[in-house]
Amino acid sequence: MNNLVSVIMPTRNYGQFIADAILSVVNQNYKNIELILINDGSTDNTNDVVNSIDFVNRKLQYFSSHGIGAAAARNFGLKQSSGDFILFLDADDILVPGSISLLMSNVHENSADIVVGAWENFTTNKRWANEYRYIESIFTGNGFANIIYRRPVISSFILRKPEILFDESLIVSEVLDFLFNFGCSSPKVKLIADKVVMIRQHSTSNRLSVENDHFEPAHRLNIFMKWKRQYDAIGILDRELRAAIDCNLLHLLFEIRSRGGSLKNLCKEVNLGNLSEFIVCDDRASKLASLVGVRPAIEIMQMYRKFRYSLKHGSKK
């Protein structure tokens, strides 16, 4: 099937990068694409760059807004979209040639609601060789738990057009919140290790304007705790989803403590007994465990040893 794919690209003052992003869409071998550009109050040469590009026979919708923010711009794009499937592409990122065809073939072969590919971080002058990332299938029963565990970048996945929107009250972590919300419908997930997008790292990244908030672990912690309770309330918090969330909570609690913050009663949010049944923790979790007591520390250290063993021998026992 040749479903229409809507690529939604909000941008603000990315005139120096946006041509690469647009051309990476225009040059895809998947033909049934509409590109929805939202110029969110750019004061640079973004408009001139967009108008200079030959979109060939691609369907383009080009809109202007006035500093409404990434979440609201994506929501506007969703409302304007006609596609059966949605791909959100940041205006400083670059789709790999053939990536939409690859993602859509996996959609149809697996009847998937969301397909997540690998991504590679790069700078203008070089690639970061150690920054090639993909979502491992650590959890076998609930594919969405893998997404929650690893948190893919927004440009790395394609999804069936959702009925939900981004929370426009969130300045940061809006993508994580959106994914949690999407997970409420128990979507069918397909994970692939093929690289589908290049993520540009640069000093003019818009997120640097909210750097203190963007990297503040308490914000992400609140998102995880909110949706853990929500999933529990609607009856979809199975053991794998709980473990995926708890592992992230452990990492975030460690970050908060390492920054001199108080854990107060936050440790009770993590179910160590449930988490120990899954091989999902790294050494940061073992460091955190020393802060929450000897018994939890032993459990986490045992879990980490099992994880290392599984990596070496291919076993999750």
- What local confidence, expressed as pLDDT, does residue 218 receive? 79
Q: Are residues 32 and 93 in the same domain?
A: yes
Q: Are residues 63 and 204 in the same domain?
A: yes
Number of domains in the chain: 2
Q: Residue 144's domain spans which residues? A: 5-209
Q: Are residues 232 and 194 in the same domain?
A: no
Residue with the two structure tokens 């979440």: 71
- What local confidence, expressed as pLDDT, does residue 311 receive? 47
Q: Which of 189, 209, 229 is the last residue of a domain?
A: 209
Coil, strand or helix at 138: coil
> pTM of the entire structure?
0.83
CATH of the domain at 185: 3.90.550.10
Q: Which of 181, 209, 237 is the last residue of a domain?
A: 209
Both tokens of 275, joined, read: 């988490």
Q: Are residues 154 and 270 in the same domain?
A: no
Q: Are residues 15 and 77 in the same domain?
A: yes
The enclosing H or E element of 114 equals: strand 114-122
Q: Are residues 150 and 286 in the same domain?
A: no
- CB 137, CB 146: distance < 8 Å: yes
**Distance between CA atoms of residues 95 and 7, nearest Å:** 11
Q: Are residues 90 and 234 in the same domain?
A: no
Residue with the two structure tokens 């609690």: 253
**Distance between CA atoms of residues 42 and 25, nearest Å:** 21
Q: Are residues 205 and 259 in the same domain?
A: no
Q: Are residues 162 and 41 in the same domain?
A: yes
What DSSP line would sit under 49-96, residue for residue? HHHHS--TT-EEEEEEESS--HHHHHHHHHHH---SEEEE--TT-EEP
Q: Are residues 225 and 204 in the same domain?
A: no
Please provide the average confidence, as pLDDT, over all residues in the chain.
82
Q: Which of 178, 209, 240 is the last residue of a domain?
A: 209
Q: Are residues 284 and 157 in the same domain?
A: no
Q: Are residues 179 and 224 in the same domain?
A: no
Average pLDDT by stretches of 10, the chain with 317 residues? 93 95 96 96 95 87 93 97 97 96 98 95 65 72 87 94 96 93 96 93 59 65 93 94 84 71 60 51 50 50 52 48
**Distance between CA atoms of residues 266 and 81, nearest Å:** 41
Q: Where are the alpha helices (DSSP H) in the chain?
A: 18-26, 46-52, 70-80, 99-110, 143-150, 174-183, 211-214, 217-233, 239-258, 272-275, 283-292, 294-313
Distances in whole angstroms, Cα of residue 273 to Cα of each of 72, 141, 263, 278, 296: 40, 19, 19, 10, 9
- What local confidence, expressed as pLDDT, does residue 53 receive? 92
